[in-house]
Structure 1
Amino acid sequence: MATKIRLQRFGKKGKPFYHVVVADSRAPRDGKFIERLGSYNPNTNPATIDLNFDKALDWMNKGAQPTDTARAILSYKGVLYKKHLQGGVKKGAFDEATAEARFEEWLKGKDAKIEGKREGLSKAQAEIDKAAIAAEAKKKEERAAAIAAKNAPVEEEPATTDTDVAEETEAATDNDETASAE
């Protein structure tokens, strides 16, 4: 019986969630499976992968073939690298202790890389939050200034008297007469 390590889809439309399973290659995608190895949630950043490492390695050693996406997940978690190192031990290229040291070194580097990404994402989110708060404060100040300008008492110009108006009309007519004489 040919077995495959593949993903079984769950979740609602637009929000997928997958179980990593070992199934007969002839079984339907969401149908009967032999064993559940873990889960994969691509909705988070970085994606959340929960995998039973020992079971996955055991099935790989038994000959189960992963699909492309399952292969990427197994590689990300180090199952394929561990299988590769075990092959080197069987061939006599190095001993078990060296293989374990290499895997631990790889695992530390991978964890540091993941943690760096998480820190970078949290810093980026903090910067976005600061910018949003600053923009909101600026908008609030503009609104307050507009309200203050609207509610401020309007200063009236001093009222003109009838004598001032009469003097202005006389001056205007005098200017008209001098302009027409020229």
Structure 2
Amino acid sequence: MATKIRLQRHGKKGKPFYYIVVADARAPRDGRFIERLGSYNPNTNPATIDINFDKTLDWVNNGAQPTDTCRAILSYKGVLYKKHLQGGLKKGALTEEQVESKFQAWLDQKEGKITGKKENLGKAKEDARKAALAAEAKKKEERAAAIAAKNTPPAEEVEVAEEETEAPVAEAETEAPAAEAAPEADASAEAESAE
């Protein structure tokens, strides 16, 4: 019986969630399986992989063939590297201590990469948030300036309004001396006619 390590799809439409299972190669994708080894969630960034390392290593050593995606997942988690190191141990090229030290060094390096990626993602998210806040503040200031400009009459209208208020006063002043001059003219006209 050919066994495969493969993904079994779960989750809703557009949000897949996978179980990593060992199944007979002839079984349907979401059908019967022999053993569940872990889970894989590609919806998070970076993807969340939870796997039982020892069981998976036993299955790989016993001949279970991973699919392409599962091979990438197992490589990412170090199962295939551990199998490779154990092969060197069987041949006598490495000792048990060397295998463990090499694998631990690889795990530390991998953990550093993952932590670096998470920090970069967090920093990028924070930078994007700050840029969005700055753009929003700038837009708010532009709107406030536009509203202030709309509510304040333009300079030409202010000058025209000042001229209109000054013009009636000036006309009233010119009319008043004319009215005062008119009685004097009437009085002088009466004096001339009396003579």
TM-score relative to the length of structure 2: 0.80
Identify unmatched segments of 5+ residues in structure 1.
164-182
Counterpart-to-counterpart distance in 2, 1:107 and 1:157: 81
CA deviation after TM superposition for structure 1 residue 15, in Å: 1.3
Show the counterpart of 1:151: 151
CA positional deviation for 1:2: 1.0
TM-score, L = length of structure 1: 0.85
Aligned counterparts, 1:134-145, within 5 A: 134-145=134-145
* SS of equivalent to 2:18: strand
Counterpart AA for 2:41: N
Shift of 1:150: 2.2
1:1-182 matches, cutoff 5 A: 1-152=1-152, 155=158, 156-159=161-164, 160=167
Aligned pair count reads: 163
Structure 1 runs of 4+ aligned residues shifted over 6 Å read none
Distance 2:148 2:27 in 1: 72
1:126 deviates by 0.8
Percent of matched pairs sharing the same residue: 73
The 2-side partners of 1:94 and 1:111 are apart by 24
Please tell me the root mean square deviation across aligned C-alpha atoms, in Å: 1.5
Query: For 1:109-135, what per-residue CA distance to the aligned partner results, in whole angstroms no more than 9, with x for missing partners?
Result: 000001111111111111111100000
Partner of 2:163, secondary structure, is coil
- State which structure, 1 or 2, has the greater radius of gyration over its C-alpha atoms: 2
Residues 134-169 of structure 1, C-alpha deviation per residue, up to 9 Å, x if partnerless? 000001111111222222356224124697xxxxxx
Code of the aligned partner of 2:17: F
Rounded Cα–Cα distance in structure 2 between residues aligned with 1:102 and 1:152: 75
Structure 2's unaligned 5+ residue stretches are 172-195
Distance in 2, Cα, partners of 1:73 & 1:111: 15
SS at match of 1:56: helix
For 2:100 and 2:7, locate their aligned partners in 1 and report how far apart those are by CA, in whole Å: 29
Structure richer in helix, relative to its length? 2
